[in-house]
């Protein structure tokens, strides 16, 4: 495996320059040791990525985005997880595939790209043709995307913040909107739109890009601006997933920010705006989220009994 990218690390927009091979950590909090909190068939993604047997999801430890309200804060901020060698990672991936999952879904993957690239290449060499999914925050190094698009079949970036001041408050970088847009543009350039498209989930998607947006409490303007930017640049054919699953985490209470769930009328307004713009490949969520979106990664079964096909 080529671990040179872990030296003087610039794998994400934080550009820390940490020598992770020597055990240093940057903003993401991870060295060059691959750390994973959970690998399992997961049913919490969009229906066209879940199918009958689930998405083979790999939850990496650490995140370079660092949103204070993170529902996966046990991974992103408390660094729950176990270290895997590349061989152990490959063995676990083969075991996951043997369970019948429809894809391999790398969650918050940017800071472990060298391991992921090596694993994807090895699995392809062994003849596995299962789609590889890149399930990321949008806070990605756009220069790496063309290389990633050679191995990754489906990009599912978030576009979390269209307003610089909101990005500053939530994750400390007011450049997020510009950075995420540049990365998403390259993801779409590299793979096109998500396809085949079937909102019912009967036919599984295997290629392309779908953009996700989580509506935040009291942040209607951010969501409207997000949709406007995406519409202006990609048109109404861009596949979109608009999520309502926000749940206040302990840090929200401490900061006194985002202390409630999404109000249904706000979510409805966001959906209505997407429909007015004419987006026609759209996933929406019913209700305002439930406990299945607040996993416990200290448990062997992080999603409990909620990890079932919806
Ligand atoms: S991946 Fe981690 S160490 Fe590398 S630049 Fe990003 S935050 Fe810094
Ligand atoms: S990008 Fe996602 S995983 Fe990372 S801190 Fe923000 S909400 Fe958490």
CA of 252 to the centre of ligand 2 (A): 14
CATH code of domain 4-306: 3.20.20.70
User: Which tens digits make up the pLDDT trace of 114-137?
Assistant: 999 999 999 999 999 999 999 999
User: Which tens digits make up the pLDDT trace of 199-243?
Assistant: 888 999 999 999 999 999 999 999 999 999 999 999 999 999 999
Looking up tokens 């872990």, which residue turns up?
6
CA of 232 to the centre of ligand 1 (A): 31
Give yes or no for residue 111 CB within 6 A of ligand 1: yes
309 pLDDT more than 60: no
* Residue 104 confidence (pLDDT): 98
Q: In angstroms, rounded to a whole number, what is the distance separating the alpha carbons of residues 54 and 297?
A: 18
User: Which tens digits make up the pLDDT trace of 99-118?
Assistant: 999 999 999 999 999 999 99
CA of 201 to the centre of ligand 1 (A): 35
pLDDT confidence tier of residue 310, bands split at 50, 70 and 90? very low
CA of 127 to the centre of ligand 2 (A): 33
Tokens of 179: 């950075």
| Ligand 2 pocket, CB under 6 A | 63, 65-67, 70, 72, 76, 108, 137
User: Which tens digits make up the pLDDT trace of 235-275?
Assistant: 999 999 999 999 999 999 999 999 999 999 999 999 999 99
**Average pLDDT of the residues of the chain:** 94
Q: When comparing pLDDT for 255 and 293, which is higher?
A: 255
Determine the atom of ligand 1 nearest the C-alpha atom of 16.
8
53 pLDDT more than 80: yes
Furthest C-alpha separation in the chain: 52
* Residue 274 confidence (pLDDT): 98
Determine the atom of ligand 2 nearest the C-alpha atom of 73.
8
Identify which ligand lies nearest to the alpha carbon of 111: 1
Mean pLDDT calculated for residue range 24-47: 96
Domain boundaries, the chain: 4-306
Identify which ligand lies nearest to the alpha carbon of 135: 2
Identify which ligand lies nearest to the alpha carbon of 63: 2
Give yes or no for residue 12 CB within 6 A of ligand 1: yes
* Residue 42 confidence (pLDDT): 95
Is 164 in contact with 175 (CB distance < 8 Å)?
yes
- Pairing of the two strands 34-42 and 55-60: antiparallel
* Residue 119 confidence (pLDDT): 98
Is 251 in contact with 68 (CB distance < 8 Å)?
yes
Determine the atom of ligand 1 nearest the C-alpha atom of 20.
3
């Amino acid at each position: 495996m080529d671990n040179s990218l872990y030296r003087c690390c610039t794998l994400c927009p934080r550009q820390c320059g940490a020598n992770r091979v020597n055990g240093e950590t940057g903003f993401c909090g991870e060295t060059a040791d691959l750390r994973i909190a959970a690998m399992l068939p997961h049913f919490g993604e969009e229906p066209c990525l879940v199918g009958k047997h689930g998405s083979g999801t790999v939850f990496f430890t650490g995140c370079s985005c660092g949103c204070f309200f993170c529902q996966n804060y046990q991974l992103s901020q408390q660094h729950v997880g176990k270290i895997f060698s590349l061989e152990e990672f490959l063995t676990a991936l083969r075991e996951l595939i043997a369970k019948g999952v429809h894809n391999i879904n790398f969650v918050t993957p940017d800071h472990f790209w060298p391991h992921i690239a090596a694993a994807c290449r090895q699995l392809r060499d062994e003849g596995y043709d299962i789609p590889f999914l890149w399930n990321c925050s949008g806070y990605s190094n756009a220069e790496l995307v063309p290389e990633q698009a050679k191995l990754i079949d489906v990009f599912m970036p978030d576009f979390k913040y269209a307003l610089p001041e909101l990005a500053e408050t939530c994750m400390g970088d007011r450049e997020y909107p510009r950075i995420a847009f540049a990365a998403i543009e390259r993801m779409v350039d590299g793979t096109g739109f998500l396809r085949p498209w079937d909102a019912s989930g009967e036919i599984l998607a295997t290629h392309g890009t779908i953009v996700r947006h989580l509506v935040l409490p009291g942040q209607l303007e951010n969501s409207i601006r997000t949709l406007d930017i995406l519409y202006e640049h990609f048109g109404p054919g861009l596949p979109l997933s608009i999520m309502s699953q926000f749940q206040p985490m302990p840090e929200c209470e401490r900061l006194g920010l985002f202390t409630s769930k999404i109000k249904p009328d706000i979510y409805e307004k966001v959906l209505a705006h997407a429909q007015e713009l004419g987006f026609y490949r759209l996933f929406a969520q019913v209700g305002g989220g439930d406990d299945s979106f607040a996993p416990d990664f200290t448990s062997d079964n992080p999603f409990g009994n909620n990890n079932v096909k919806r």
